[in-house]
Structure 1
Amino acid sequence: MRTLFLGLFLMFGLVLSAQTITGTVVDSKMNAPLPGANVIVKGTTTGTTTDFDGNFTINVKESQGTLVFSYVGFEKKQVKFNVTGSSLDLGSVSLNEDAESLDEIVIVGKGIIDVATGRQTPVAVSTVTSKDITKVAGNAEFPQLLRSVPSVYSNSQGGGYGDSEIRVRGFDQSNTAFLLNGQPINGMEDGNMYWSNWQGVKDIASAVQVQRGLGASKLAISSVGGTINIVTQTYNSMQRSYVQQEVANNNYTKSTAYHSTGANENGWSSTYMLSYWQGDGNFYDGTEGEGTTYFFSVGYKPSDEHAFNFLLTGAPQMHDQAYQGNIGYALDYGRRYNENWGTLNGEYYNERTNFYHKPVTNFNWDWNISDKSDLSTVVYASFGRGGGTGPLGRYNDKFNANRQIDFDAIYAHNRGLAPTNIGGQDYIVGMDDYPNEMGYITRASMNNHFWTGIVSNFNHEVNDELEFNVGFDYRYYHGDHYRQVVNKLGLDGWYEGGNGSIPGGQVVFDSNDISLFGPTFNTVRSDQQIDYSNSEDISYIGGFGQVEYATDKFSAFLQGSVSNQNHTRYDYFAYTLPENQESESIENLGYNLKAGLNYIINDNHNVFVNAGFYSRQPFHDNIYKRYSNDINPLAENEDITGIEVGYGLSLEKFSMNLNAYWTKWANRTDTGTIRADLVGNDGIDEEYITNFTQIEQTHYGAELDFVYKPIDGLTIKGLAAIGNWEYSDNPLQDVYDSNSLEIIPSLSGTESYVDGEKIGNAPQTTFSLGANYRITRNLSVDADWYYYADLFADLDPLEFTDPNGDNTIIELPSYDLVRIGASYELELEGKKSLEFRGSIDNLFNEVYLTSLSSNKAVEAGDRTFKGISETNRGYFGFDRQWSLSVKFNF
């Protein structure tokens, strides 16, 4: 009895010693409650979340301390407390918008989205918040959001809207993993990203996190350079509406309407967004474009145990392009010169147009099974329709005196061809059977696909320090590729003699206009396809798991995944017999293993280290030779090894991250295309296919980024990244004619002597400094300075086959850019307000080259641009760009 009494006494004492703190967390701007906000006692693991009305109750062991409040999209807030009795009511705690990190992100599908937590997850990480996204307005593209992230380079590779690319630590987009709410979105054929297909992500992204290096993602994905998580709005707890109008240089306009219902008492929430844009081009002449973005999301939280969200988004677009031009032509006709356009019947016409529509849908389910276990699942699907136009056939004198295409002359030439009698009637028919080429048309290379998959992750907390998760990832992809006639330019038909399914050939009479939504609902019959027709099936299944141990001071993880890919190719042109049209199915097993340690020395300092190894399967396009069903025997798994160490400093007004990395990418095969004048020496560059094997690269470097807030309202950010990225072996190469697929013997079976040469297309030294100053509550100004150096040309295989040659990759001139902006908010009645934004990029109109695709040395008589021979092909950076926007919130 005495023992029982003592136990009851102790329990009663513990109850009396615990103090209760209550309050309500609200949005400072709208004074609306924030359900699901996190409330944690600083320095402990004691915490809770607010209910539907923003209310919270938390028991604290100490009478004095600090509560930390956080909510996605809002700044963290610390509130000191002193409980003099048994309870304390803090009243209303208001949070300001625009958090600086995703440390406490709460969204549906959170178990799938591997968001790294600053100073806790042992990876190099940077986060672009909603505040940063609003700065990149007007005609600026999504990749420009990431310019202030160390070792990230945004570059325009097609000259038109949506043609930008992102390189991380010198690796291209096929070796950087892109995720949309946990869904992999890199192309399954080649790993590439085409931002024209994802124009809308800038409108729908609530935050973007860049994990450089192997990153924290558990999926078996192409995260050699890094992983970029695009987090969109899902379950939205607050009602919000706005309309926005943007204008920018070159007659760019964009109109947007947005509405979110907020969560009702039954747990339902929905969000709608629609925008339309058009413009005459960012910089290059003849790069007009237009497009729209739609976004729909509906969420449902029937209880604390379950949360669901359905999302549908897409961004149909079409834009004209300017491929890398000859520098000599830029010197003659100006930097805006674009050789792809001219006039037809007195009207503007570009033979290089990209058009695509890729709707994406996913369904997320979060199941809080117990206090210890939860399951998160996303099921997704997408289908893409569209392609890119270009010339087919030959007409040697197609340029006029201003070196723009004379389509009227082409039209007249086509009409002057000898007629062909078909079925008793004369038709003017063109063909592309080399060397009997005659006629010239515009064709479209189509890329239609269907993609579906599921990712599911189960997480279990063994105790306060140890947890593990396991999951699986399944994907299926089917793609169809062919060419179709777009504009016959005066011909009646086009003869196709290479279709193995139609012995004897045929004349194609149909032509197909391009438009925003046209390709979505129309496909071309097989008997109207030209030049080539092939398909592929790619299936992927993988499993992954992670064990994580974490205390207040120390965290460690061990992570691994294994995956199996199956590839089958179908070719309906190259093979007549049906049994030959389907290739042998190829299976490849891959895996990765990663581990990391993080130690929090104290409230101010932490250090981390991580390492990993990937055995990554080759891409589909590298498995089959020469775009045929022949298997490439040298396409083996690629070996990727990475090591990274880092240090973090966090003070009241200053925070800093310092990282060092080393990555080796070996045993790589790569199939690509080049444009060069290899046949006939007629001055006209044609497209050729290159196949490289045994490529090896080594990348290492150091990165520094910091944030300094010396006074209220002023934030200063900066970065420095210095790398050394080189080829570390000599690959072998083959070169093929892209139309006939015939090998070019003089350029094949040779070695490219690039060992020790620099990796191109991304600067190996970058610096950035930026500031944001809030002058008043409603007015702020901001500016950024970017410096790029040690930028080298891309590898041109034709220039590196002589063992006694110079074999030096050209270094491009360094350059720097300045961007300025200002924002002003006019508060109106109630929740209404007007937001004004203006910005200028490349303020001082710097003239610079962003990339170079050839390595031709300066020879006698050559003109130069900053020491670069006019015979090289490259892209000039955009000149001064400006944008203005106004948003009405209601």
Structure 2
Amino acid sequence: MKTILPFFLLFFYGFAHSQTTISGSVVDDNNQPVPGANIIVSGTSTGTVTDFDGNFLLNYSQKPPFNVQASSVGFETMIIQVTSNYQKLNFILKEGTSLDEVVISASRTPERIFESPVTVERFGLKEIKNTASADFYGGLETMKGVDVNTNSLTFKSINTRGFAAFGNNRFMQLVDGMDNSAPALNFPLGNLLGMTETDVQNIELLPGAASALYGANAFNGILFMQSKNPFDFPGLSGYVKRGITSQEAAGNNAYTDFGIRAAHKFSNTFAAKVNFGYLKGTDWYATDYSDKNMPGATRASNVDYDGVNIYGDNVRFNIKDAALGLEALGRIPLGASALVPSTFVSRTGYAERDLTDYNAESVKADWGLYFRPWADNFEIAYVGKVGTGSTIYQGAQRYRIDNFSMQQHKLEIKNKNFFLRGYITSDKAGDTYVMDVAGPNLLAAWKPHQTWFGEYAGAYVQSKSVGATDAQAHAISRQFAETGRLEPGTPEFQNAFDTVTNDTSFLTGSKIKDNSKIYHADANYNFSHLTDVADIQIGGSYRTYKLNSFGTIYADADGAIPYSEIGVYTQVQKTIMEHLKLTGSIRYDKSELFDGFFSPRISAGYTLGEKENHNIRASYQTGFRNPNTQDLYIGLVTGLGTLIGGANDIGDRFVRPYSNSQFAQNFLGQPATLNQAGSAAYTNSMAASIATGLATHNPSNNGSEFIGNPNYVKPEQVTSFEVGYRGKLNKVILDFSAYYNTYKDFIANESVVATHYGNNANFDLTGFNPQNPASVAGLNQDTQLILAALRNNDFARYQTYTNSETNVNSYGGAIAINTKVLGNFDLGTNYTYSNFEFDKIANPNFRPSFNTAEHKVKATFGHTELFKNFGFNIAWRWSDTYLWESSFGDGQIPAYHVIDAQMNYRIPSLKSSFKVGATNLLGDDYATAFGTGLIGSMYYLSWTINNL
């Protein structure tokens, strides 16, 4: 079944070496194959790994004798001496523990998890094979301390230690050292554009702050995914999964997931690989029609209804004001407006299912060329990745991510002591649009909002004049205003929908246009081979952003926005008194937009016990998160206001023309139009809630409380203390950690208004008479101008990006216990506790968005070889009730139980493994966030061929 694909050969080699070829197998003490075991020539970095059946082939450029060692996660290392060419080695590994797993992420150097200075989790080939989830990425849900929030079928967001969001800027995801975040979004889209399952070698997860080694945005955790090197993993492998998704709202729908990997070692100096993955299914329907503003209300019971997954009903107006306008135009009799109450009424919106087809799709490919020209431990590699997909993302709005594409290209030079890499990431928004914006603009395309509310108010007056009750009048008015409504499924609706979703102006359309890029380079050198004093590392990174939305999202109408960040770090690690391992790290980062920032980390680990089976650790570390691209430079104009970034040069990049009222022109001498810079939101504004009160003549305090003027945005900061224990107690493996974090300068939004005229600095209502609000006698000129601007709608609404003055503390802990029961059954369980605190009385308007349950419990039970070639695994998860807070909406997430299960059977002669599995086996739809589709069940059958 071996297949050699035609690769483009970039390098040639012109001389041969003496070479020894060895082969063999690795099995456990039950004579079962150990796939993915490391086979290494002792004292060198030359090695390979075992294939699906535990077999390996290794070439070494020296003559015998020499030693070869075999090791694998959960087994003790075994060494055999090679005495002749073509010798066959048969390793039988005794079962060890997961504490012997080797990780790199914690200290940027290989070390056992047992000795890691901070908490780290690992998900390797064994876990990928045995996961009960439909894919390896979903299998991460079983890890302790990990939250996996399901945004859609193809977009899952990983988070640790709270403060989660789907657009999770506080969590990094690295794939072979490359940041997997989309430049325009500043967060990874789960595994939508990530890795193909057959190419995953291992995954490491580092929860908590890690800025000391990884810099800006290594704030709340990092996920490291490492792929298989074709030198070590040559051959052809692939998988196909077919099944259904089942949800109460969407019914049963087909699901397909397919992937293939081809790798070939052309010689000892050149190898290459290519991967391809395809997934298609139907997304989870979002059908929460509860009222955001009045729990339990419906459209029939609340004229100002605003449904969670209804879009367009956020357009609202006071029908009293609409009636007054009609009266002024002579369209209703004078005095008729007295029949109309001062009541806000919302338009009738469209359900989310009318604005998307819920197609979930992912297509991705990657390729790599690997060259080892001089020695086995020196490698030059080029890697390219490209992906496109369709999914749903929830941020401040619900986004239909459609045909979104991203590509990455990396060049890397490395050996066991250093690496130097550079890569570029580029994205394109494709046909992406915002459903919350499409809804209102679709309604306006059919009937302008002013016309609709005018018809509503006129019908209300007419109904009341003939004796209708208030409820009857509202019903008649809505029916009259809705006459001729565009109905989903009709050609007229589809034509209007296509127009709106292809229009990049958010005043009339909803489409996102973007082609932003990130250029990144980083390097690291480890001096441990040069000195025995200590393990010393130095490194650094440089990154440049180039934002280019063509003026549709960012304030980049005049051209792309570039800005850069640079960081340098060092780490010293030393073991003293044989059992005490000390680690000290410090990093300095500087963005051209902010002052420099130092991130120190100090940790200590002490090994004790007669067999050295126990390790106690403690650490202090700091972290920070730079404002993301949208926090800095968004300049998005919508019908409800403008989202304006908090960079201190935003005023130079965002300027928009506005029209003044006839009153301002005729009586105040103001120009018909003016240009207002976005900086007005930060230098000449007031809180939107206060401005609303002033516009309706309800001021109650002096002017000092009316000034908004939020500060320009700056980085968030965190200080973290952590303690932990890892150890083996007979057959039980125990891993415990606890932490306490202090956060400050949380990036937050503040809604303000900036009037077209009047200086906010001089605003003062001293002497204002609330009994006679029309009188402005005794007020200074700027105050009079501002009041006039508010009453005549001569102002702009902004949502700013700034920092909260509220300090937040979070704390928690996690414990995992793994053992063997009933002979050789694997049993693992873990518990996570998470909580936070802040002064809510002093900060009633602060939204912390902790977004994680206080208590979570997970457990797995299975057997890799219940009988010959047959295994199974069952995973159970329970989450406590918690509050989800976001700019989209807030709501309680009910507690849930989830059971996933799988059975697998190997057929070695076909080099195949078959798996049948189900997720959410109980069939109870559940949610991990407010406003998303409920997560249903998946039932699948997979066939994996591994011809490595």
| TM-score (normalised: structure 2) | 0.62
Alignment of structure 1 residues 109-128 onto 2, 5 Å: 117-128=112-123
Query: Which residue, out of 571, 579, 602, partners 1:595?
Result: 602
- C-alpha distance in 2, partners of 1:97/1:241? 29
- C-alpha distance in 1, partners of 2:44/2:108? 22
Deviations 1:238-260 (A, max 9, x none): 43212322112121112222222
The answer for the alignment partner of 2:413 in structure 1 is: 365
Alignment of structure 1 residues 395-414 onto 2, 5 Å: 395=443, 405=488, 408-410=491-493
Unaligned runs of 5+ in 1: 1-21, 41-45, 61-66, 326-339, 341-350, 369-373, 418-428, 435-439, 485-497, 501-525, 527-531, 567-585, 675-685, 732-750, 799-808, 853-873
- C-alpha distance in 1, partners of 2:895/2:718? 30
> 1:79–1:783: structure 2 CA closer, same or farther, 3 Å change rule?
same
Partner SS for 1:53? strand
By how many angstroms is 1:145 displaced?
2.8
Partner SS for 1:296? strand
The answer for the alignment partner of 1:715 in structure 2 is: 826
> 1:33–1:217: structure 2 CA closer, same or farther, 3 Å change rule?
same
Partner SS for 2:59? coil
Deviations 1:616-646 (A, max 9, x none): 5433433458144337744234331000000
Partner SS for 1:310? strand
By how many angstroms is 1:838 displaced?
1.5
Q: Counterpart amino acid of 2:427?
A: G
By how many angstroms is 1:615 displaced?
5.0
Query: Which residue, out of 626, 639, 653, partners 2:644?
Result: 626
Unaligned runs of 5+ in 2: 1-20, 49-57, 245-252, 287-352, 448-481, 634-642, 652-678, 683-709, 753-796
Is contact 2:279–2:363 with CA below 8 Å preserved after alignment?
yes
Query: Which residue, out of 560, 571, 577, partners 2:586?
Result: 560
**Larger helix proportion, structure 1 or 2?**
2
Alignment of structure 1 residues 414-563 onto 2, 5 Å: 443-461=510-528, 463-464=531-532, 466-482=534-550, 535-550=560-575, 552-563=578-589
The answer for the alignment partner of 2:769 in structure 1 is: none
1:150 aligns with 2:233: no
The answer for the alignment partner of 1:4 in structure 2 is: none
Partner SS for 2:238? strand
1:296 aligns with 2:367: yes
Query: Which residue, out of 880, 883, 887, partners 1:789?
Result: 880
Query: Which residue, out of 816, 833, 838, partners 2:897?
Result: 816
Q: Counterpart amino acid of 2:616?
A: V
Which fold has the larger relative contact order, with Cα–Cα distance below 8 Å and residues 6 or more apart in sequence? Answer: 2
Alignment of structure 1 residues 57-96 onto 2, 5 Å: 69-70=70-71, 76-79=75-78, 92-94=89-91
1:706 aligns with 2:749: no
- C-alpha distance in 2, partners of 1:216/1:56? 45
Greater shift, 196-205 or 94-103, is seen at: 94-103
Is contact 1:454–1:474 with CA below 8 Å preserved after alignment?
yes
- C-alpha distance in 1, partners of 2:841/2:559? 32
- C-alpha distance in 2, partners of 1:559/1:622? 29
The answer for the alignment partner of 2:5 in structure 1 is: none
- C-alpha distance in 2, partners of 1:400/1:206? 60
1:883 aligns with 2:890: no
Query: Which residue, out of 291, 294, 316, partners 2:388?
Result: 316
- C-alpha distance in 2, partners of 1:816/1:400? 46
1:662 aligns with 2:773: no
> 1:711–1:753: structure 2 CA closer, same or farther, 3 Å change rule?
same
> 1:416–1:464: structure 2 CA closer, same or farther, 3 Å change rule?
closer
By how many angstroms is 1:96 displaced?
7.7
| TM-score (normalised: structure 1) | 0.66
By how many angstroms is 1:123 displaced?
0.6
Identity in percent: 14
- C-alpha distance in 2, partners of 1:474/1:795? 32
1:236 aligns with 2:304: no
The answer for the alignment partner of 1:770 in structure 2 is: 860
**Larger strand proportion, structure 1 or 2?**
1
Is contact 2:261–2:275 with CA below 8 Å preserved after alignment?
yes
Compare CA radii of gyration and give the structure with the larger one: 2
Deviations 1:19-53 (A, max 9, x none): xxx9976455999999973478xxxxx89866943
The answer for the alignment partner of 1:252 in structure 2 is: 255
By how many angstroms is 1:840 displaced?
0.7
Q: Counterpart amino acid of 1:315?
A: G
By how many angstroms is 1:301 displaced?
2.3
Deviations 1:361-392 (A, max 9, x none): 22222246xxxxx3221221221112521355
Over the aligned positions, Cα root-mean-square deviation in angstroms equals 4.7
Deviations 1:480-537 (A, max 9, x none): 11478xxxxxxxxxxxxx999xxxxxxxxxxxxxxxxxxxxxxxxx9xxxxx787421
1:835 aligns with 2:913: yes
> 1:889–1:99: structure 2 CA closer, same or farther, 3 Å change rule?
farther
- C-alpha distance in 1, partners of 2:740/2:581? 22
- C-alpha distance in 2, partners of 1:260/1:213? 36
Is contact 1:287–1:321 with CA below 8 Å preserved after alignment?
no
- C-alpha distance in 1, partners of 2:841/2:77? 56
The answer for the alignment partner of 1:266 in structure 2 is: 268
By how many angstroms is 1:293 displaced?
1.6
Is contact 1:234–1:311 with CA below 8 Å preserved after alignment?
no
The answer for the alignment partner of 1:512 in structure 2 is: none
- C-alpha distance in 2, partners of 1:35/1:782? 21
- C-alpha distance in 2, partners of 1:844/1:204? 31
By how many angstroms is 1:717 displaced?
1.3
Is contact 1:834–1:889 with CA below 8 Å preserved after alignment?
yes
Is contact 1:26–1:34 with CA below 8 Å preserved after alignment?
no
The answer for the alignment partner of 2:906 in structure 1 is: 825
By how many angstroms is 1:555 displaced?
1.0
Query: Which residue, out of 410, 424, 436, partners 1:381?
Result: 424
> 1:533–1:851: structure 2 CA closer, same or farther, 3 Å change rule?
farther
- C-alpha distance in 2, partners of 1:499/1:656? 49
Greater shift, 716-725 or 229-238, is seen at: 229-238
Partner SS for 1:541? strand
Is contact 1:375–1:459 with CA below 8 Å preserved after alignment?
yes
By how many angstroms is 1:189 displaced?
6.8
- C-alpha distance in 1, partners of 2:280/2:483? 29
Alignment of structure 1 residues 661-810 onto 2, 5 Å: 661-671=739-749, 693-710=804-821, 713-728=824-839, 752-754=844-846, 759-773=849-863, 774-795=865-886
By how many angstroms is 1:759 displaced?
4.2
Query: Which residue, out of 614, 618, 624, partners 2:623?
Result: 614
